[in-house]
Structure 1
């Protein structure tokens, strides 16, 4: 950063640079007063005076004034605006979570930067975010550092992205994975199956929706677990996420 001032003066006139908000004298004529090693002075005789600040940071934001000890005093001020790209802080932000159905959850994303960043939430899979049961509770994007979801269900399971932008590149994001525990729900495509005497095999199939994946087994009419001879029948455990059914052999 190189603010400067140009004027004509005699050798008896002196120039000073002042930090206005703190009333700190930075330089007087050719001498650097401040102990900040990032502040230096450049001048060309008695006409051009430039204050240099290297490695500018947020603490340098503020008003600076160039003063000439004339009578009356001549001065000119300028404001140094320091922009900072957005940053998401782990401290104060949510991490991956596991919850039970019907619980309320809050996802938090603490971001900083200058100008203050705009924070938005969206689902990683592109689906709408369901925040409740109301007509206007679904949205593709949710504004704000906190995302509240009431009475979560298995359909809320998935990854949520917090994105912070303030016009200064790069934008940043944080991923929060939400897993929802729910008990098994059984799906039977056909409740009545028939077979003829002597038929070598008959396949009976049922599917379950559950998270974590359920352990499935078959019983006979007496309630006894069926222990199959080789080849063993395959049972299936199914997890339904956002209308997409994922089916795998039980135990896998």
Structure 2
């Protein structure tokens, strides 16, 4: 046998051996797997920070999942939350959602609270098992509008509302005011609106002033900090000056600050009838 023929025969034997040894090998891109393609995670962020009250979405993206299952687990107590699309917790705030086109398995947590902070593990039941940990941080934040939850005004007066947001970490990037579903700012079609925002450490304060209110300005007013809980008050504007004063007196339980009691106004129409009945001391 010539040397060239011997080399060709040897090369053929090598190819046959490789082919037999790698029966079932699968090519994936530039890689090889012996047997089934193995699942792996895509490089998504592993830290999520949000303000309390909002929905947390923890996502792990799995390629080559096949017929395997994705499990979400809370690490602090090793509680299984979801398996596939099924939920295994009595806490109805948790829910799993799948997006097949991306291979995303997302754990949704509604109405998040600071106590929900901590690591959550996404695990695939492959052989060997693979897992990825996502760290959730929920910061506390409180929003309130100073004063009572209802305001009574007379037409022509000014409405002044003060919203205070107490936050941890960074302040809200924006703080918006709404009347019903309409945004209020200096450029509002209504006109006569001013908004001032002040940031001091862990507190952000916004002052809304609406001048010369009318009955059309009645309704709900909402303070909406971006990324924080909202707060609302109900405003009632009455065109009858006397009735507005009586309502305000009933709500405050006393004399209005900086103003007189409406009682003289109520008695003034009765004075002509009462005077003749008054006893004479002469």
How high is the TM-score relative to the length of structure 1? 0.38
TM-score using structure 2 length: 0.34
Q: Which has the higher helix share?
A: 2
